[in-house]
C-alpha cells in the first residue's frame, strides 16, 4: 500500500481551528505517566501548528474505556503536555467529550493556543465510528490532522468518521515519518532487503509472512513461531510452542519462498529449557531438533551467527517480533544478537512497534535504529499490505 497524503505543511492553518488526533495512549500508574514517548512524539506537530497560528484542539483515546472512567481521564496528559510545550494546555473536562467545556474552550481559543479534549473512548460511539459523534468532533474544527499512527488501523469516529465532515484532513509529522520509513522499506527498498519475523505465534503474522515473501530477498524466522515451521520440515520440537493447524501453512510458505527465490532462514540450533520459566536451565541443542521434554525458548548461537551475518549484508532490514523469550535473561541472547547486528549494519533499519520496539529500547539499541514504529498493530497491518483506514481517509496530494 503506498500513500501520497497531504501533510500539515501543505495547508494554511493561521487563525483556523485545527483538530489534531494524537496518540496519547500512555501507560499510567496511580495517575502518573510512566512513559512519555508518545507525548514527545506528538510535540513536533503541535509546535508547528501553534507557531503557524493555528487554534489547536487535541484529542486522543486512552486505554480501553467503555464510557466515562475517572481512571482513564486525559487530565494528567494535559498537565504534562503544558510542561513539555511550555504553554498552557487547557483541559476540557467533559464526560461527553464535545460538551459545554469543550465548546467554550474552543470559542475562547486564540491563535497559537491549545485545548485538549477528554478521552474519546468516553463516548461509546467512538469505536463504532458512529456519525453523531464524528459530526460533533468535526463541529469544533475547520481543519483535521491525524497524527495517531498507533490507531490508524482502526476506523473510529476520531480517526475516520470525522474526516467526512471537514473539508481538509491531512497527516501530521509522526504519520508522515511512519509512512516514509515503513512505506519506503516495503515498496521501494534498497536491496538486499531482509525481514526478520519472530514473536509467539504464526497465526498473528500469517498475512505478514505471505506479503513479505513477495518483496524480500531474505526472510528470517525466529521466536515461538519458528517451531511450527521446523515441525513442517520434519524436525522434532519437544514441547515447544506449536500451532498444529498452521503446519501445512508453514510448509506452503517454504514452498512459496523457494518458488520466488527468497532465502527463508530457520533456526539451525536452539536454546531450550524444561519449563517456561526464567530459572529453567538453558541447554543448547546441536541442531534444529529439540529433545523430548524440552521447549525451544531462544535461537541458538549458530543460528544467531547466521542471522547476524544476513542482517549485516542487508541494505534494508525490517524486524517484528523477538527471537526468543527475551524477558528471561537466559533466553535473550538471540534477540540481543539480532538487535546488535541491526545496530551495526550499514542499512536502513526499521523496527515494527509493540514487543520488538520494547525489546530494542530495553536492550539499549533504540537510538541506533533508523526508525522505530510507534504502532504495533498498525505497523503489522501495514506490513500485511492492508489499507490503514485512518490514513486512507486523509486528503491526497
**Residues classed as catalytic:** 38, 201, 354, 377
In angstroms, rounded to a whole number, what is the distance separating the alpha carbons of residues 238 and 230? 11
Task: Say whether residue 375 binds ligand AMP (CB under 6 A).
Answer: no
Q: Which residues pair with 371 in a beta bridge?
A: 350
204-233 positions binding ligand AMP, by CB under 6 A: 204, 223-224
Tell me the three cell numbers of residue 201. Answer: 505465534
Scanning 55-63, 72-80, 105-113, 316-324 for contacts with ligand AMP by CB under 6 A, the matching segment is: 316-324
Q: Is 201 in the site for ligand AMP (CB under 6 A)?
A: yes
**Contact criterion met (CB below 8 Å) for 212 and 195:** yes
* C-alpha dist (Å) from residue 20 to 24, 26, 211, 224: 11, 17, 32, 39
β-partners of residue 92 are 117
339 binds ligand AMP, rule: CB under 6 A: no
Question: Pattern of binders to ligand AMP over 271-310, x per CB under 6 A?
Answer: -------------------------xx-------------
Query: What are the E-state strand segments in 51-171?
Result: 55-59, 89-92, 114-117, 143-146, 168-171
Pairing of strands 89-92, 114-117: parallel
- Per-residue contact flags (x/-) with ligand AMP for residues 56 to 85, judged by CB under 6 A: ------------------------------
Stretch that binds ligand AMP, among 22-30, 195-203, 277-285, 311-319 (CB under 6 A): 195-203
Q: Which 8-state DSSP code applies to residue 367?
A: G
Distance of closest approach, residue 201 Cβ to ligand AMP, in angstroms: 6
Based on the number of CB atoms within 10 Å of its own CB, is 182 exposed (0-12), middle (13-18) or buried (19 or more)?
A: buried
Minimum Å distance from CB 207 to ligand AMP?
Answer: 14
Distance CA 109, CA 256 (A): 57
Choose, by CB under 6 A, the member of 41, 267, 273, 324 that binds ligand AMP.
Answer: 324
* Total chain residues near ligand AMP (CB under 6 A): 16
State the Cα–Cα distance between residues 247 and 266, nearest whole angstrom.
Answer: 14
If binding is defined by CB under 6 A, does position 325 make contact with ligand AMP?
Answer: yes
Cβ-based nearer residue to ligand AMP, 278 or 309 = 278
Stretch that binds ligand AMP, among 139-147, 250-258, 323-331, 342-350 (CB under 6 A): 323-331
Binding site per annotation, positions for substrate:
23-25, 38, 61-64, 121, 154
* 200 near ligand AMP, judged by CB under 6 A: yes
How many CB atoms are closer than 10 A to CB 330?
Answer: 17
Q: Which is nearer to ligand AMP, 280 or 395 (CB)?
A: 280
Please compute, for residue 184, the number of CA atoms within 13 A of its CA located in the half-sphere on the CB side. 15
> Is residue 266 at the binding interface for ligand AMP, with CB under 6 A as the rule?
no
CB 21 within 8 A of CB 159: yes
Tell me the residue number closest to ligand AMP, measured at CB. Answer: 199
Residue 241 as a binder of ligand AMP (CB under 6 A): the answer is: yes
Residues that bind ligand AMP in the complex, under the rule CB under 6 A: 199-201, 204, 223-224, 241, 296-297, 321-322, 324-325, 327, 354-355
Amino acid at each position: 500500500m503506498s500513500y501520497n497524503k497531504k501533510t500539515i505543511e501543505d495547508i494554511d492553518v493561521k487563525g483556523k481551528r485545527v483538530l489534531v488526533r494524537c496518540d496519547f495512549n500512555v501507560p499510567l500508574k496511580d495517575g502518573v505517566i510512566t512513559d512519555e514517548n508518545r507525548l514527545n512524539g506528538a510535540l513536533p506537530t503541535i509546535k508547528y501548528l501553534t507557531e503557524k497560528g493555528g487554534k489547536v484542539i487535541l484529542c486522543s483515546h486512552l486505554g480501553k474505556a467503555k464510557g466515562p472512567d475517572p481512571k482513564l481521564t486525559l487530565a494528567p496528559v494535559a498537565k504534562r503536555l503544558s510542561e513539555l510545550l511550555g504553554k498552557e494546555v487547557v483541559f476540557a473536562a467533559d464526560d461527553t467529550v464535545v460538551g459545554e467545556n469543550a465548546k467554550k474552550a474552543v470559542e475562547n481559543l486564540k491563535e497559537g493556543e491549545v485545548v485538549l479534549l477528554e478521552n474519546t473512548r468516553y463516548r461509546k460511539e467512538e469505536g463504532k465510528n458512529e456519525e453523531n459523534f464524528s459530526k460533533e468532533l468535526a463541529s469544533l474544527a475547520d481543519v483535521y490532522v491525524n497524527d495517531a499512527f498507533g490507531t490508524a488501523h482502526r476506523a473510529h469516529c476520531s480517526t475516520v468518521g470525522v474526516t467526512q465532515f471537514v473539508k481538509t484532513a491531512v497527516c501530521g509529522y509522526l504519520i508522515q515519518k511512519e509512512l516514509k520509513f515503513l512505506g519506503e522499506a516495503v515498496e521501494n527498498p534498497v536491496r538486499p532487503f531482509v525481514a526478520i519475523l519472530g514473536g509467539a505465534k504464526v497465526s498473528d503474522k500469517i498475512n505478514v509472512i505471505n506479503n513479505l515473501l513477495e518483496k524480500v530477498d531474505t526472510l528470517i524466522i525466529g521466536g515461538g513461531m519458528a517451531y511450527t515451521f521446523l515441525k513442517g520440515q520434519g524436525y522434532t520440537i519437544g514441547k515447544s510452542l506449536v500451532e498444529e493447524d498452521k503446519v501445512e501453512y508453514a510448509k506452503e510458505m517454504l514452498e512459496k519462498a523457494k518458488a520466488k527465490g527468497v532465502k527463508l532462514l530457520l533456526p539451525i540450533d536452539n536454546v531450550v529449557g524444561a519449563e517456561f520459566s526464567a530459572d529453567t536451565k538453558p541447554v543448547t541443542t546441536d541442531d534444529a531438533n529439540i529433545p523430548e521434554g524440552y521447549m525451544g525458548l531462544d535461537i541458538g548461537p549458530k543460528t544467531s551467527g547466521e542471522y547476524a551475518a544476513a542482517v549485516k549484508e542487508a541494505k534494508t532490514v525490517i524486524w517484528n517480533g523477538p527471537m526468543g523469550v527475551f524477558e528471561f535473561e537466559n533466553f535473550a541472547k538471540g534477540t540481543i544478537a539480532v538487535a546488535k547486528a541491526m545496530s551495526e549494519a550499514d542499512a536502513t533499519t526499521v523496527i515494527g512497534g509493540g514487543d520488538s520496539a520494547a525489546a530494542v529500547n530495553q536492550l539499549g539499541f533504540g537510538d541506533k535504529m533508523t526508525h522505530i514504529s510507534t504502532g504495533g498493530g498498525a505497523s503489522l497491518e501495514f506490513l500485511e499490505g492492508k489499507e490503514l483506514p485512518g490514513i486512507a481517509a486523509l486528503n491526497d496530494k
